[in-house]
Amino acid sequence: MGDVLIDIFNHCLPPRYIEACRSHMDGRMVMFDRAVVLPGMSDLDERRRIMEGFDGYCQLLSLASPAPESIADPNASPELVRIGNDCLAEWCEIDPIRFPGFVASLPMNHPDAAMLEARRAVLELGAVGVQIYTHVNGSPLDQPEYLAVLEQLAELDCPVWLHPLRSSSQPDYPDEALSKFDLWWAFGWPHETSVCAGRLVFSGLFDRYPDMKIITHHAGGTIPMVEGRLESGLEALGTRYAPEEQQAAETPLKETAIKAFRRFHADTATFGSRLGIDAAEAFFGSERMYFASDFPFAGIERSIRAVEGLSNNILQGNAAALLESVRHG
């Protein structure tokens, strides 16, 4: 595997951030409660002990879901995020070998504060990028106020980690109250990634910023699996709508959709599935792929086994180059 394996997409919840989150929660958040108790999620020493079993393995830290904007209102989310990012910077300072960098969170329900925090995190704390969720409390990222944040991040040359978000309260069928059998997670999260990516593609974001780095979690969601639909299928864009619905297909996108979709980057966090990783590599190319585990939601050992034999670009080079470009760009 080489000397260094950088895990670019994994999560933690430092104790001070947990305390701050709970002070804003009106009721119980099941996913948050579940995440807090996972081994290594909130206990730094335990996390380091787990990592000791893997030579040359290190992590770029990011906060676990739920999104900060779903926890605190716009008046409080900037301070909540500030606490979280400060905690990540402190963990990196404690052990810079195992944690050579972190990915900052943003208060996306307060776009002005989000951009201020991005600049603070990157320029003052040394964050290597920012994590944004696939929607902001149900609103798509191609809304003007959120798209403006992404454009400013592109101007800052700040990479974006795109994390899916969907809850069981979003049913699979309109006559039901909940999504059953965890399908909101198993199928819903990859779908969220793909739909969000599509909205960003058709916003023309990559026309304006073709080199912007947006790293899709979980190997690009379902994007690699539907290559044909994105290529020849979307050549018929607009023909599937009634005449009075044509506004739904209006787009400023100049290049072909398939070319724009290939501008995304992706990680290898597939819960150990080599099939998903191979599909993502075939679609995005090895130069846009990064090793990731989704620890502690997924195991490190299984994640490493899943990438055996892949190119050094994926295992080392791309993440190392990303760190280098952010720090010396």
Following CA atoms 109, 326, 6, 215 in sequence, which dihedral angle do they give, to the nearest 10 degrees?
Answer: 50
In this predicted structure, which of 68-72, 236-240, 254-258 has the lowest mean pLDDT?
Answer: 236-240
pLDDT at 135 over 90: yes
**What CATH number is associated with residue 55?**
3.20.20.140
Exposed / middle / buried, residue 141 (Cβ in 10 Å: 0-12, 13-18, 19+): buried
Q: What is the pLDDT of residue 1?
A: 39
* Per-residue pLDDT band at 73 (split at 50, 70, 90): very high
Read off the pLDDT of residues 24-61 as tens digits, 9 standing for 90 and up.
987 767 888 899 999 999 999 999 999 999 999 999 99
* Per-residue pLDDT band at 140 (split at 50, 70, 90): very high
Total count of domains within the chain: 1
Q: What is the pLDDT of residue 29?
A: 77
| Nearest partner of 122 among 103, 146, 94, 145, judged by Cα | 103
* Per-residue pLDDT band at 328 (split at 50, 70, 90): low
Read off the pLDDT of residues 215-243 as tens digits, 9 standing for 90 and up.
999 999 999 999 999 999 998 998 999 99
Q: What is the pLDDT of residue 3?
A: 75
Residue 142: domain span: 5-328
Find the DSSP H helices in 209-296: 227-230, 257-261, 274-284
pTM of structure: 0.96
Q: What is the pLDDT of residue 329?
A: 57
